Amino acid sequence: MLKFRSQLQIKWDDHPAIMVVGVVDGTSEAIFQTLMSLGPSRSEWDFCFYKGSVVEHLDGHTDIVLKQLYSDWLPWGMKRRDLLLRRYWRREDDGTYVILYHLVVHKKCSPQKSYVCASLKSNVCLKFMHKKRSF
């Protein structure tokens, strides 16, 4: 059973919005796979990522993932954070990948004592741009 966290009275207005725009050299498929990874290689580019796992596959484009974050980047004394997310992705006809995340509650993943559930609204849009090569 899934329950969306927004139904649990989280006040989104209390949280700042952050937008990141970057250019990465690589195919959209390779970048998409990197962003979807929950293994140890993710910590090479995601400084707050400790570990993650897929809790349940819902269909070919949707799953429930648990991400646990390091506390090193939080103010001293704050407990570590985790995120239980419904992750949905799709590939558009033009090669653009869209990844959407939404906080959920799931029967297979109860809250952990040493973690506090973080609040998050997130999406990722990867636009593949063909480079013109000059010879």
* pLDDT tens over the chain, length 135 residues: 444 444 444 444 555 555 566 677 778 788 888 889 999 888 888 888 899 999 999 999 999 999 988 888 777 888 888 889 999 999 888 888 888 888 888 888 777 788 888 777 666 666 665 555 454
Yes or no: say if 18 and 122 are a contact pair by the CB < 8 Å rule.
no
Look at residue 60 in the predicted model and tell me its pLDDT: 94
- Can you list the domains of the chain with their CATH numbers? 2-9+34-126 (3.30.530.20)
| Tokens 């648990």 found at | 66
Which residues on neighbouring strands pair with residue 125, listed in sequence order?
98
pLDDT at residue 74, as a whole number: 77
CA distance linking residue 95 with residue 116, whole number of Å: 37
